[in-house]
Amino acid sequence: MIPRMNCLALTILLVCSLVCPLYSAGGNLSPEQKQWLERADRSEREGWIFVHLEGGPLARGFQHGYLLAPEIAKAIRIDRHLIRWQTPEDFTFFVKAARRLFHNRLDTEIKAELEGMALGLEQAGVKDIGYPELLVHNSIHELLWYWWPWVKKDREKRMPEDRAGGCSAFIATGSYTADSKIVMAHNTWTNYAFASTRNFIMDVVPDKGHRIMMHTSAGFIHSGSDFFICSSGIVGTETTIGDFTHDYDTTGTAEFSRVRKAMQYAESLDQWAQTMIENNSGGYANSWLLGDIRSGEIARLELGCKYHKFEKKTDGVFFGSNIAEDRDILLNETESNFSDIRKGSVARKVSWMRLMKTFKGRIDTEVAKTMLADHYDSYLGRGNPGPRSICGHYELADGITNPTTRAPFYPSGAIDGKVVDAEMAGQMKFWARWGSSCGTPFFADQFIDRHPQYEWLRGYMDDRPTSNWAVFEKRD
């Protein structure tokens, strides 16, 4: 057993080896840049990296780029690799596309934050990542999963594996919760390469608009996952709408820009929804689950490309499992079969129905954690962790006894868990668990040794050992 002091010394050594090169590389920091950095910080706990950013767009972008330079460089490296293996094009092709599609439609504030991040990266010694690469990174979901399939048209042959959809989530209020107030929960599903830079919680205090705490990725100015609480009283999450086959609107505004604007500036659920609907490109089509802790009202915005539906209630629940509830979106913009329980989206919808009936009137943060870890397979009628369980594990799906829409044993699934109630949201804090909602660990090299067809991902997936739930809160 390693003595406690040695463990502490080792931890300090590892942190210094990460942080010190950044500051030595930034020896030419201006007085203004030094002041920016004095207002920001980063720390690590239970597998998460917590980051506090504040100030104007250029300042908080600089803080982000400077403090997270190694992680952002790693994230762009993973983007490049996945684009290379999931499309016949290279990263430069998507850089040109992102500038053509998004640059002229971004708000000045969004551009300034990305430009500040590029400057922070440069001062930290990362010279090969600038605004163009960061624009691709922030729009990677939209470009790779929506715009690219629309460009190629032949979706069956060209669609990346992760385009099928993922994540499980709910938001409940009134008679469904223990205190009649809002409870919200979400786990992120993504491939385990993308997961390697998704262990970030950011506390963002802009000089204008509302404070935001969100689960996010290194280099994102939005959440991307999505899970967020705002000082306005609005909380939100989402699940992607699976099997989407819509036309893409090249005249629309990037989803990452619209959702950041909605989080930072919306004063109500209606305004939040309108910000997302206006200039919608159809990229990253989601079922958004929203709540207002001031009134206890919850809402769902299902946002496709040509169709959308917005509904609210003060007593009840909305949940997401990657299948649209709205008939127009389901039948016109997806290829989903709403009753095929062999599919994960339908099986998890049935599981949510069962769980809501079981726990009605008792839902609190502890119950929500239990629900996110659920491994019941509604098709088989028994516990069976895989793509049909609330806590997803595509890496366990063999394609025969556990069929999946993706390749057998595809390394993807739930990589976390986040839970919040109204009281916590009012204090700008929430529960989070890194690794998987259930705590099952993942060890990358061991997985690839068992499934050598994924050798192309070696070095691009990190281990995710079992971590504990922890509370993360705003930092002043």
223: amino acid identity, one letter: S
Tell me what pLDDT residue 365 has.
98
**Integer angstrom CA distances of residue 396 from 48, 349, 400, 407:** 25, 20, 11, 11
> Among all chains, which residue has been given the structure tokens 């991307």?
224
Tell me what pLDDT residue 399 has.
81
Contact, 252 vs 281, CB < 8 A? yes
Tell me what pLDDT residue 18 has.
41
d(Cα 343, Cα 387) in Å, to the nearest integer?
8
Q: Which domains does the chain have, with CATH numbers?
A: 165-463 (3.60.60.20)
- Taking alpha carbons only, the member of 461, 344, 467 closest to residue 417 is 467
d(Cα 255, Cα 267) in Å, to the nearest integer?
19
Tell me what pLDDT residue 237 has.
98
Q: How much helix, strand and coil, in percent to the nearest 5, is found in the chain?
A: 40, 20, 35
- Taking alpha carbons only, the member of 293, 233, 286 closest to residue 255 is 286
The two beta strands, 286-292 and 297-303, are antiparallel
- Is the four-CA dihedral 260, 263, 267, 269 of positive or negative sign? positive
Question: Does an H or E element contain 366, and which?
Answer: helix 365-372
- Taking alpha carbons only, the member of 277, 287, 279 closest to residue 329 is 287
Question: Does an H or E element contain 18, and which?
Answer: helix 4-25
CA angle 45, 131, 147 (to 5 degrees): 90
Residue-wise pLDDT for 275-303, tens only, equals 999 999 999 999 999 999 999 999 999 99
> Among all chains, which residue has been given the structure tokens 């998987």?
436
Contacts made by residues 376-384, CB under 8 angstroms, sequence distance 24+: 376/351, 377/347, 378/341, 378/346, 378/347, 378/348, 378/350, 378/351, 378/354, 379/341, 379/342, 379/347
> Among all chains, which residue has been given the structure tokens 């989206």?
345
Which residues are CB-neighbours of 330 under 8 A, at least 6 positions away? Answer: 323, 324, 336, 338
pTM, two decimals, is 0.92
**Integer angstrom CA distances of residue 74 from 70, 81, 193, 333:** 6, 11, 10, 35
* Alpha-carbon torsion, ordered 340, 345, 350, 353, to 10 deg: -150
Tell me what pLDDT residue 63 has.
98
Contact, 284 vs 145, CB < 8 A? yes
Residue-wise pLDDT for 306-323, tens only, equals 999 999 999 999 999 999
Q: What is the largest CA-CA distance in the chain?
A: 63
The parts of the chain modelled with pLDDT lower than 50 are 1-25, 155-158
Centroid of chain to Cα 458: 23
Number of CB atoms found within 10 A of residue 398's CB: 11
- Kindly state the tokens that stand for 280: 């919608």
d(Cα 444, Cα 446) in Å, to the nearest integer?
6
d(Cα 112, Cα 58) in Å, to the nearest integer?
5
**DSSP states of 223-292 as a string?**
-SS-EEEETTSEEEEEEE-SSB-PPP-TTSBPHHHHHHHHHHH--SHHHHHHHHHTTB---S-EEEEEEE
Tell me what pLDDT residue 243 has.
87
Which residues are CB-neighbours of 16 under 8 A, at least 6 positions away? Answer: none
**DSSP states of 35-78 as a string?**
HHHHT-EEEEETTEEEEEEEESHHHHHHHHHHHTHHHHHHHHHH
